[in-house]
Amino acid sequence: MADDQTYRPGAAVPPWLAGLSRKAPGNLSPELTRYAGPVPAHARGSAVLALFGTGDQGPDLLLLRRSGTLRDHPGQVCFPGGSAAPGDGGPVRTALREAREETGVNPSEVRIAGTLAPLNLAHSGFSVVPVLGWWGAGGRIAADGEEIVSAHRVPLADLADPGARLLIRVADSHLSPAFLARNLFVWGFTAALTAWLLRVGGWERPWDAGRVEDLSDARHRYGGGPPP
């Protein structure tokens, strides 16, 4: 696999995704402010792949459900991704390698639109670089059955549905975005990044920001793994 420098931002991706990747660096939304700031020296480098495709209902995102037996973020819904490995050579290669290992996504089918600045998951000690990718109609996906128990291509229309959106109150009383779509409860970093993508990409629709649930109640009702 080629190193990160061989990927030309915006090459062979739809104009809307190329536009999103151009707007991204200077558009830090309130949803992601919690994860911004200097990267701690001890943070573990990692990357996630926000992989856009297109299906019968228009653009979609690939989301995964993690196994409940994992040490980090058990049972949660996430983007493909994980820790950097020796020899990866950068976040793009990390994200593509992890996506292949977790779901069988063929890296040669993915076009990279761009990357965001590293974001901090202080509670788990990770520094995460979001990578924006495109794979059109996509290919076959299958959860690896160990770390990942299911893989889902979720239409952006479902995520942008006002009825799918809510805010959750975490232990420190912070309010964080969340989604209920395709029997998935998406919260935490993944939901914050998804909310940001919807807004910057122009898919966000007016929704009831007064719909707030405590995380513990929401987890009991919808699933989604333990709190941070």
DSSP string, 55-80: ETTEEEEEEEEE-TT-SSSTT-EE-S
Name beta bridge partners: 227. none
Mean pLDDT along residues 180-194: 94
Distance, CA of 151 to CA of 87 (rounded, Å): 27
Which CA distances in Å does 225 have to 45, 62, 184, 222? 23, 19, 11, 10
Judged by phi (left if over 0) then psi (alpha if -120 to 50, else beta), residue 47 lies in: beta
What pLDDT, on a 0 to 100 scale, did the predictor assign at position 27? 67
Q: Which helix (H) or strand (E) holds 1?
A: none
Q: Give, to the nearest 10 degrees, the angle between helix 15-23 and helix 188-201.
A: 110
Cβ 132 vs Cβ 112: under 8 Å: yes
pLDDT reported for residue 36: 83
137 class by beta-carbon count within 10 Å (0-12 exposed, 13-18 middle, 19+ buried): exposed
pLDDT of residue 145: 80
Residue 219 is which amino acid?
R
Please report which confidence band the pLDDT of residue 2 belongs to, taking 50, 70 and 90 as the band edges: very low
Classify burial at 189, counting beta carbons within 10 Å of its beta carbon; exposed 0-12, middle 13-18, buried 19 or more: buried
pLDDT of res. 123: 76
Percent of the chain residues topping a pLDDT of 70? 88
Q: Domains of the chain by range and CATH?
A: 4-222 (3.90.79.10)
Alpha carbons 41 and 139: distance in angstroms, whole number? 38
Q: Average pLDDT in the 68-92 region? A: 86
Instruction: Report the pLDDT averaged over residues 146-158.
Output: 93
Average pLDDT over residues 11-36: 80
pLDDT for residue 177: 95
